[in-house]
């Protein structure tokens, strides 16, 4: 296996944006990336997309842009996908044509082989450009205002259970990592993710990552199982990087049995769409709407909803608290700052 990426702090001349510069990073790219290597070391590129042999697109914070003059055959794209997934310790083939993997550098690769991807093998690569962010740094970048910063610190100190929501690329994982970095150093944090992305500066952090089955279909470990296992690890704060299925049942159970200071993230288009998303996940876990509503209201202290502007600015757009509307789950917008 070739050498992994190495993230190195990038030295930037002092400026008014010194906090932003402190948390930027560049990468030394592994040869396995081949023709994509120049985009991985471009400090502005956060996402790289390969759509089979038909095109390469990158995102520099202003939306996706086509790369002119790029060319690669479907065979070459498939071989690249196999090599990248293998470098992250997983496998991709016709029996397992969709794989998500994190390299040791923190770069995340998602691959879908043809013919599942009808336009050819599809690669989605996310390159981390923020390292070890804390609340002060995110405040300086405009993620939230000074009043919100003080409120977030109080939430962490009070061991509030926090649900962070938003669309893809809105900064949910980054905000979650910053909140956890503010937790007292004598607390034990256990994080559970499908693909481990959380990069914490906290000194006592145990990261658990789900595992795909082997070629014989055995050995897979789900998020739901990891949540159950984590309860035996005496966590002071239990975190699920993204709720996307039946693991929501175990998380709600944990947060309702004394595990304060926990957190999770959830994809949602808007704050008022969160109850419907949770009801859908609850259905996957065989929870009826009444049981789900009562557990959610008891489990979570606050919801933070993030949005990303067309210019690439990520910010806390709304906050809310869960409520019961009859026997169904509701949410009320709050302005505590």
Residue ranges of the domains in the chain?
31-126, 135-334
The answer to whether 132 and 205 have CB atoms below 8 angstroms apart is no
pLDDT, position 280: 95
pTM of the model as a whole: 0.76
Q: Is 239 helix (H, G, I), strand (E, B) or coil?
A: strand
Residue 122: the pLDDT is 96
Quick one: average pLDDT of 17-34? 56
pLDDT tens for residues 90-114?
899 998 899 988 887 778 899 999 9
Q: What is the mean pLDDT of residues 108-130?
A: 90
**Residue 2 clears pLDDT 50, i.e. is over it:** no
Q: What's domain 31-126's architecture?
A: 2-Layer Sandwich (3.30)
- Which token pair is 303? 């919801």
Q: Is the omega angle on the peptide bond into residue 24 within 30 degrees of 0, that is, cis?
A: no
The stretch 144-155 carries a mean pLDDT of 90
pLDDT at 142 (0 to 100)? 87
Partners of 28 in the beta sheet?
6
Mean pLDDT of 194-204: 84
Q: Of 140 and 279, which is predicted with more confidence?
A: 279
Q: What are phi and psi of 264, to 5 degrees?
A: -160, 165
Domain boundaries 135-334, corresponding CATH code: 3.40.50.300
What order do you get walking across the sheet with 314-325 strand by strand?
A: 205-209, 189-193, 237-240, 263-267, 162-166, 302-308, 314-325, 328-334
103-117, 204-218, 234-248: least confidently modelled range: 204-218
Same fold, 31-126 and 135-334: no
| Mean pLDDT (whole number) for 46-53 | 93
195: Cα within 13 Å, side-chain hemisphere? 17
């Amino acid at each position: 296996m070739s050498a992994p990426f190495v993230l190195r702090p990038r030295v930037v001349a002092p400026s008014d944006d010194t906090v932003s510069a402190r948390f930027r990073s560049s990468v030394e790219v592994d040869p396995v990336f081949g023709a994509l290597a120049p985009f991985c070391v471009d400090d502005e590129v956060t996402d790289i997309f390969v759509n089979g042999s038909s095109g390469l697109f990158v995102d520099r914070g202003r939306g996706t842009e086509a790369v002119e003059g790029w060319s690669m055959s479907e065979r070459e794209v498939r071989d690249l996908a196999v090599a990248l997934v293998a470098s992250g310790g997983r496998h991709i083939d016709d029996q397992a044509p969709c794989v998500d993997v994190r390299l040791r550098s923190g770069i995340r690769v998602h691959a879908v082989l043809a013919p599942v991807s009808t336009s050819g093998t599809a690669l989605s690569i996310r390159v981390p450009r923020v390292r070890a962010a804390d609340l002060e740094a995110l405040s300086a970048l405009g993620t939230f205002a000074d009043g919100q910063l003080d409120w977030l610190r109080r939430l962490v100190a009070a061991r509030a259970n926090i649900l962070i929501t938003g669309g893809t690329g809105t900064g949910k994982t980054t905000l979650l990592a910053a909140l956890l970095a503010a937790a007292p150093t004598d607390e034990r944090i256990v994080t559970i993710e499908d693909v481990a992305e959380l990069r914490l500066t906290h000194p006592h952090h145990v990261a658990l990552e789900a595992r795909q089955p082997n070629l014989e279909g055995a050995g897979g470990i789900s998020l739901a199982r990891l949540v159950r296992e984590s309860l035996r690890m005496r966590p002071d704060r239990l975190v699920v990087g993204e709720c996307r299925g039946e693991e929501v049942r175990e998380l709600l159970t944990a947060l309702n049995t004394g595990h304060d200071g926990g957190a999770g993230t959830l994809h949602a288009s808007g704050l008022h769409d969160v109850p419907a998303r949770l009801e859908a996940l609850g259905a996957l876990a065989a929870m009826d709407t009444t049981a789900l509503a009562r557990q959610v209201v008891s489990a979570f202290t606050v919801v933070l909803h993030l949005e990303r502007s067309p210019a690439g600015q990520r910010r806390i757009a709304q906050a809310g608290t869960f409520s019961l509307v009859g026997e169904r789950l509701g949410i009320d917008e709050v302005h505590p700052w």
